[in-house]
Amino acid sequence: MDHHDAHWFKSSHSGGSGTECLEAAHLSLSTAVRDSKALDGPSIDVPHAAWADFVRAIQDEGFASNARIRLPAGQTSTRR
């Protein structure tokens, strides 16, 4: 699926200096994630619940290297 027309956004904590790491776009069936420095590069689609878990983990724990985000049973992320 082509995500070029999606409404991409960055975290409000992003500094805007061009060193941001990712952008996300909420789609009808998933959340797409891509590198903000490679807009024409690949993106991955993750289930909305997995994206919400990821955001919640960062808010609750900061970005700890031991934080684990698990996809629901039977669901996988899709690299585009």
The full set of domain ranges for the chain reads 22-79
Nearest to 77 by CA among 42, 47, 36, 41: 47
What is the band of 70 on the pLDDT scale with cuts at 50, 70, 90?
low
d(CA 5, CA 8): 9
Whether the CB-CB separation of 61 and 28 falls below 8 Å is answered with: no
What is the band of 64 on the pLDDT scale with cuts at 50, 70, 90?
low
Please state the rounded mean pLDDT for residues 18-45.
86
pTM over 0.75: no
Tally helices (H) and strands (E) across the chain.
1, 4
Collapse the DSSP code of 27 into the 3-class scheme (helix H, G, I; strand E, B; otherwise coil) and give the result. coil
pLDDT score for 10: 83
Please state the rounded mean pLDDT for residues 54-74.
68
